[in-house]
Structure 1
Amino acid sequence: YFQRYGVASLLVGRFIGPLRPMLPMTAGMLDMPFGRFLLVSLCAAAGWSMAYLLPGWSAGAAIRLPLEEGFWSEAGIVVGALLTLIAATAFGSLRSLRWVSALSAGLGVAILLGLFFGWPHLKELDEGLLAVIQGARSTTFDRIMVIVTRAGDFHTQLWAAVLLCLLLLVARQWRAALFAILTLLGTALANGALKATFGRVRPEVLMEPLSSYSFPSGHSSAAFAFFLTLGVLAGRGQPPRLRLAWLVLASLPATAIALSRVYLGVHWTTDVTAGALLAASICAASLTLVQWRSPLHAMAPRVWWLILPACLGLLGAFSVWALPTAMQMYRYQ
């Protein structure tokens, strides 16, 4: 059981108190590869710590700050739509339905269209969350969030995408490279077109507001496109539960980048949600096209040892390299 579902067990078990201290011992006794254990444990630890702290922090912030009357109803609508998409994708994946990718793409586009035409009616949600988050800022956390958001910058994601596609081509993973190119390039083009079409302005938090429009968030869409591509490729050839576990694991760093944009005050919550939906929809549509005739096969471990260190090292280097300039850019009023 642990050999088949070890990654999923680590992800889920971190959220269950009595299991949390037992999982490392179990993984060690059953010879789980240390690199896999370390990567999954780091992401799972970040996830459960946020999940345990956010409810209490949110409740305290809601009591401390007056929220508009329509805040909770708008939040319920958005969260309900996202949970519907996640539940449908999980159900179809666990049942091994052939058209689950097409179903996910269709639901994602439907919710995305709802956000596009409904964001003027979500004003209370956007302004309420921005006020709550800005009220909890700290100097130490500012620096951390700037490092995180740097991983989603245009030049960072551009070079990471180029590197990933080149490595896949060098390794002769033709269909995987086609899937990555369709997802990454398609997301970038769609994001640029939608920003130019809707032209929504950013929150007025920074001393020197950024010039480009905010809807949907380019950082959020680029990060989700890149990490979901890695998650989909990692799950090829795996059981359904493990494929879902890889997608959850890949979504964690992308979610952190998206939330950093709201924390820094350069995007509304609906901006980053729309960016995530855009990337997920194009990723699912690209996977449907690539797997139209036959499933996408798993890549050899040696290919992963070539791709992961190179891509993650590049993201980390770009994030830290221009930290002083980025801190100057994200100055608050």
Structure 2
Amino acid sequence: MPLAEQLLDLSLSPFALILIVFLVSMLESLAVVGLLVPGVVLVTVAASMAGHQDVDMFLLLLAAFFGAVVGDGASFKLGYDHREQVTSRWPLAQHPEWLGRGARFFERYGIYSVFIGRFVGPVRPIIPLVAGMMRMRPRTFLWANVSSALIWAPAYVLPGYLLGHTWQRYLELPANVETALFVLAGIFVVLALLFSWGRVQVGRHGRLYLACARAARRLPFVRRPWLAMSQSGEVPLASLLLLVLSLTGFCAWTLYVLESPDSLALDLQTQRLFDWLRSEPLLWVSLGFAKLGDKLGIVVLIFPYGAWLLLKRRFDVLCCWAAALGGVALLNTLGKAAFGRARPDTPDYLTGSLSYPSAHTSGFVVVVGLAAAFIAAECPARRRLWVYWAAIILIMPMALSRLLLGVHWLSDLIGGALLGLAVCALARLGWQSRPRAPLSPCPWAFLLGVTVVLMGLRIGFFPPV
């Protein structure tokens, strides 16, 4: 029996699914209980089953909405009416840090903490309780509770519900695509580890950084360059390692691609997978990414920040960005001419353009990667992880959109990404070679808003180039 039919046999009645969504939404919002309940996973599973049975989506959203409102409301009332007893009872008596984390969040964001906290996993079940203990006005809490639940319910229910409509199709994968799926998943895992756990380990207080510092003191031929690099503060170990890994990876991958007389089996499997996934909505989204990754798109992305840097006379930052963008453009041009690899498909606007490495991917990696590095440098250490995660989430769809459009092989994207990372590392090493004045204060929110508007204009009114 196909897997889709087995899952259908396990489906519950529509009423039971709606009730489950209500209960899970409520339990995830309850104080402390929400820390133990994997609410996102359970809501997604229940919504997927509901979508597969065509359960009324409006009723499902209402169930999630009221469950979230009731859960947060019960937590708020508990903190409001039983402030003293809450802190002395299990499990908060054994874990005071949970309340401390919620209190710091509440003090930072004030009346907006309930709205924001609903979408922040570690503090989500604690914030309503803390709001009650802090004697937040019930009317204010009710407004934040209801308005945030109106956004939370569709954000958590709709992805699972839409997946349920199509899961039978997505469980019946085309043949011989297992390697492609494994490689794509492996790339995401490696990137996640490299820019989360790995980035922490090579920071000043990381284990790898401290181990390198101890080794440098013992080895005479390493001590002098280590001390010279540390004159400007922290030794840029992260940038050095990224340069070594990405440059070595690019050279090895390029040799592997060039030694294959025909298309790689991995490329053919991946193309088969994305041909099967191709649909009109995904093609429309992919074309939007294509417009953001071409020359005009890159100009749109950097223009607001470049104008602000020019206004502030930060010519050092502008030179760093210009060198990185000019360098990756030159390397892409030379690489395409040297390797001469044809595209899987060549639309009219790419006539005469070759495939390896992917200029869209490498250019986007440089723009987003450098932006993430500069922003992270201005952030507290505990927030840098989220900056790099945001960069990964932006870059991955851009790269994969090239496969949906059929204008690149997967190996082109890997080569382009490695090349872009190498250029990013070189640019950061040049920047970190001596002390620099910080960029803050910078109107990041305003510049981001301008960028979004320009991106919309570029996608909506100009053809790809």
Q: Indicate the residue corresponding to 2:21 in structure 1.
A: none
Partners of 1:285 and 1:141 lie apart in 2 by: 35
Q: Indicate the residue corresponding to 1:150 in structure 2.
A: 291
Query: Secondary structure of 2:316's match?
Result: helix
CA drift at 1:225? 1.3
Query: Secondary structure of 1:135's match?
Result: helix
One-letter amino acid of the counterpart of residue 309, structure 1: G
**1:9-55 deviation digits (Å, cap 9, x = unpaired):** xxxxxx972899799x9777741898xx79x999xx99xx999x99x
Aligned-pair identity in percent equals 21
Q: Of the two, which has the highest radius of gyration?
A: 2
Partners of 1:310 and 1:190 lie apart in 2 by: 30
Q: Indicate the residue corresponding to 1:240 in structure 2.
A: 381
Partners of 1:253 and 1:298 lie apart in 2 by: 23
**1:255-296 deviation digits (Å, cap 9, x = unpaired):** 221111111111111212222222222112211111112256
Contact 1:165 1:181 in 2 (8 A): no
Query: Secondary structure of 1:151's match?
Result: helix
Q: Indicate the residue corresponding to 1:318 in structure 2.
A: 458
Contact 1:235 1:298 in 2 (8 A): no
Partners of 1:308 and 1:79 lie apart in 2 by: 26
One-letter amino acid of the counterpart of residue 332, structure 2: N
TM-score between the two structures when normalised by the length of structure 2: 0.54
> Aligned pair in 2 of structure 1 residues 113, 33: CA closer, same or farther (>3 Å)?
farther
Q: Indicate the residue corresponding to 1:291 in structure 2.
A: 432
Alignment of 1:33-112 (within 5 A): 64-67=173-176, 85-86=194-195, 88-93=198-203, 95=205, 97=209, 98=235, 99-112=237-250
> Aligned pair in 2 of structure 1 residues 74, 248: CA closer, same or farther (>3 Å)?
closer
Q: Indicate the residue corresponding to 1:196 in structure 2.
A: 337
Partners of 2:416 and 2:39 lie apart in 1 by: 31
**1:42-84 deviation digits (Å, cap 9, x = unpaired):** 9xx99xx999x99xx9997685322179757866886787567
CA drift at 1:104? 0.9
Partners of 2:204 and 2:303 lie apart in 1 by: 32
Contact 1:89 1:104 in 2 (8 A): no
Contact 2:282 2:404 in 1 (8 A): no
Partners of 2:288 and 2:179 lie apart in 1 by: 34
Gaps of 5+ in 1: 1-14
Query: Secondary structure of 1:266's match?
Result: coil
1:308 to 426, 437, 448: 448
1:172 to 313, 317, 328: 313
TM-score between the two structures when normalised by the length of structure 1: 0.73
> Which fold has the larger relative contact order, with Cα–Cα distance below 8 Å and residues 6 or more apart in sequence?
1
Contact 1:94 1:241 in 2 (8 A): no
> Aligned pair in 2 of structure 1 residues 137, 80: CA closer, same or farther (>3 Å)?
closer
**1:173-195 deviation digits (Å, cap 9, x = unpaired):** 33332332232222222222211
CA drift at 1:171? 1.7
After superposing the two structures, state which structure 1 stretch, 117-126 or 71-80, moved more: 71-80
> Aligned pair in 2 of structure 1 residues 91, 156: CA closer, same or farther (>3 Å)?
same
CA drift at 1:110? 1.1
* Ranges of 4+ aligned residues in structure 1 off by more than 4 Å: 18-23, 25-30, 57-63, 68-87, 205-209
> Aligned pair in 2 of structure 1 residues 257, 62: CA closer, same or farther (>3 Å)?
same
Gaps of 5+ in 2: 1-37, 44-67, 77-101, 121-150, 210-234
Q: Indicate the residue corresponding to 2:28 in structure 1.
A: none
**1:227-280 deviation digits (Å, cap 9, x = unpaired):** 122212211232333123212212322222111111111111121222222222
